[in-house]
Amino acid sequence: MIDINYNRQEKQYEWIEPESGERFTFPAKQKHEAFRFAVSMLDTDLYAAAERMIDDHPQLERVTWRAVELVCANAIEVFPAPLGNVVAMVDSSDGYGRYAIEEHEYGFSCQCEHFTSLAAPLTQNGERYCKHLAAYRLHLRTHETRF
């Protein structure tokens, strides 16, 4: 879990690198930048996978960084053997409930509102991605390369 704190007195975000104890600071309104920096330091595989996904699909930039937050929070449970069409469960960002990721002949789907309302962005291949589906993809990519 990446812990970024806001220092009200100094009006800046702070992140302490867990191993060295070194403190990094970021201006107010740059919490996302602070988070990305922390990921680049702690999990280079995940950071590289996110950058690659955004390079391939620039329209997924927002969804991808939210997905990185889910991966860092260990929010993805992949089933080794699918249960029906369900290949994984992903915790919701607010901590209430989980969403099933399903694999179909035409591709993947998620149960969340962003996906089912068709508001989630489409790639040039016609695949729709909410943050949960992007998190599932990032989880697979980063875990496959580790073994």
Binding site for Zn ion (CB under 5 A): 110, 112, 115, 130, 132
Pick the closer one to Zn ion by CB: 27 or 82. 82
Element (H, E) at 81: strand 76-83
CB of 93 to Zn ion, least distance (A): 10
Pick the closer one to Zn ion by CB: 34 or 112. 112
16 half-sphere exposure, CB direction, 13 A CA radius? 7
For residue 55, give every residue at least 6 positions away whose Cβ sits within 8 Å of its Cβ, in sequence order, or none.
Answer: none
Pick the closer one to Zn ion by CB: 89 or 110. 110
CB of 128 to Zn ion, least distance (A): 10
Element (H, E) at 134: helix 131-144
CB of 43 to Zn ion, least distance (A): 22
CB of 41 to Zn ion, least distance (A): 28
Contact indicator for 89, 75 with CB cutoff of 8 Å: no
SS3 category, 74: coil
Pick the closer one to Zn ion by CB: 41 or 72. 72
CB of 46 to Zn ion, least distance (A): 19
- Phi/psi for 96 (5° steps) reads -105, 105
For residue 30, give every residue at least 6 positions away whose Cβ sits within 8 Å of its Cβ, in sequence order, or none.
Answer: 13
Pick the closer one to Zn ion by CB: 25 or 85. 85
